[in-house]
């Protein structure tokens, strides 16, 4: 019974850690490229162009980060 409870606690901790990491993987590029694009749009007067490019780059970078994190998790679970 105790090992089952310990396993549930470990699984819950892993899930919270993954959600936290994925949040950072998505949020940091979105904020950085979003603000960067907004400042470039303000400087050059091209309202939505650079912010959309920034969010597209953030999406690509976040997707790559999530892909690598999931690949690492799958590799660790296979051991």
The full set of domain ranges for the chain reads 2-77
> Across residues 64-79, what is the average pLDDT?
88
The pLDDT score that the predictor gives to residue 54 is 97
d(CA 24, CA 44): 30
pLDDT digits (tens, 9 = 90+) for 16-65: 989 999 999 999 999 999 999 999 999 999 989 999 999 999 999 999 99
pLDDT at 1 over 60: no
d(CA 27, CA 7): 30
pLDDT at 74 over 90: no
Task: Give alpha helix (H) positions in 1-79.
Answer: 2-44, 49-77
pLDDT at 13 over 70: yes
- Going from the C-alpha of 73 to that of each of 11, 41, 53, the distances in angstroms are 13, 38, 30
């Amino acid at each position: 019974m105790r090992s089952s409870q310990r396993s549930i606690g470990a699984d819950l901790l892993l899930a919270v850690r993954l959600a936290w990491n994925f949040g950072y993987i998505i949020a940091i590029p979105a904020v950085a490229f979003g603000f960067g694009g907004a400042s470039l749009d303000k400087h050059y007067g091209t309202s939505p162009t650079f912010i959309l490019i920034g969010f597209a780059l953030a999406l690509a970078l976040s997707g790559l980060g999530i892909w690598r994190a999931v690949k690492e998790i799958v590799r660790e679970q296979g051991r």
